[in-house]
Amino acid sequence: MDPAQAQRTARDPDGVDEWQRLVAADARGDDKVVEAALRPRRLDELIGQERVREQLGLVLQAALRRGHPPDHILLSGPPGLGKTTIALIVAHELGTPIRVTSGPAIQHAGDLAAILSSLAEGEVLFLDEIHRMARPAEEMLYMAMEDFRVDVVVGKGPGAMAIPLDIPHFTLVGATTRAGLLPGPLRDRFGFTAHLDFYEPAEIELILRRSARLLDVHLTADGGVEIAGRSRGTPRIANRLLRRVRDFAQVRADGVVTAEAAQAALALYEVDQRGLDRLDRAVLGALLDRFGGGPVGLSTLAVAVGEEAETVEEVAEPFLVRAGLLARTPRGRVATAAAWEHLGRTPPADGAGWAALVAAQRAVPPRGQPGWPAQDQLFGPEA
């Protein structure tokens, strides 16, 4: 099961779909509608991602001066950070139309050939989740990106023949949440590659202020700070929390999104001060209360929580590791001191879990020396 499927099929301890989690980074149906209205249209309206914004601006300005489509662009990073938004900005800055599709929608080479042959000169093709494209279509894309030509095979068996088909010069903008799954030949054909990082709280506050203006929501400064601190550094989650707090403020308060309203609303939706929801706290709670902070194996932890191992690994663990609340070690999952403090628990006197984490770190030889493990051996597979 791939990560996207794991997130869509996961269940929290009370039987609620992961797709319904308030802090899920994947887009839902209502998110897509609202995001379309909130997305910035120009590069100078984009908040955060300063390095990517400056680099991409140079690429686009140079292409406009040359009067030629820019190099193909690859955007990677976790969901909800603005890859689709940047693709739409690219088309707007170039003054060209954009064709939007996704990797899972292209299952045959003929599907891709039909799209490519219908593009206009200089058009932008946005291919979301490009790592999930079928292999035959992927191999056709190699030639299209490099030579702007595809070979359409007609017939079968000995009588089959390949008909070369020239296609207009276009700019491919690929987006992926799993850059490591892209084949090397495909990655090498992108002239510009950018990785989107999680946003700082101050940047999330600016995004919330802009969204509040567009949604006609009265957001106070302290209300923005409160929501930003629980948004996991992800604009999509921040905008979703803003809408839920707005609903609470309109129904149970005076319509103003203050810090008090945000605290009450997010307590109702069970999103705590660090952005953890019920599933996250269930994983940490089981690790602390039942296993003394670890180390404990993934499958054992999943059984204790009542979830599939893939759900714990792909849905809950990435944020817990990034927040410094959980560590992956060769001996299993271990809670950090911050996890004990966050849940208000007292670590056991022997500190077995923390000792295992320290011992695992000390056992690693210097980088580059014999015995140096790969990242997956130290921290588990990249999520």
Tokens 């791939």 sit on residue: 2
Determine how β-strand 161-166 pairs with β-strand 149-154.
antiparallel
Q: Which of 12, 21, 31, 84 is catalytic?
A: 84
Which residue is catalytic, options 12, 31, 128, 280? Answer: 128
177 is a catalytic site residue: yes
Contact 73, 90 (CB under 8 A): yes
| CA dist 37 → 85, 90, 200, 295 (Å) | 11, 17, 23, 46
Which of the following is catalytic: 83, 246, 278, 333?
Answer: 83
Cα-based angle 196, 49, 274 (whole degrees, multiple of 5): 75
Distances, alpha carbon 269 to alpha carbons 71, 228, 245, 250, 266, in Å? 44, 16, 10, 16, 5
Catalytic residue among 177, 258, 329, 336: 177
How far is Cα 261 from Cα 244, in angstroms, rounded to an integer? 11
84 is catalytic: yes
Query: Do 150 and 118 contact (CB within 8 A), yes or no?
Result: no
Query: Can the peptide bond before residue 295 be classed as cis, meaning omega within 30 degrees of 0?
Result: yes
So which residues are the catalytic ones? 83-84, 128, 177, 236
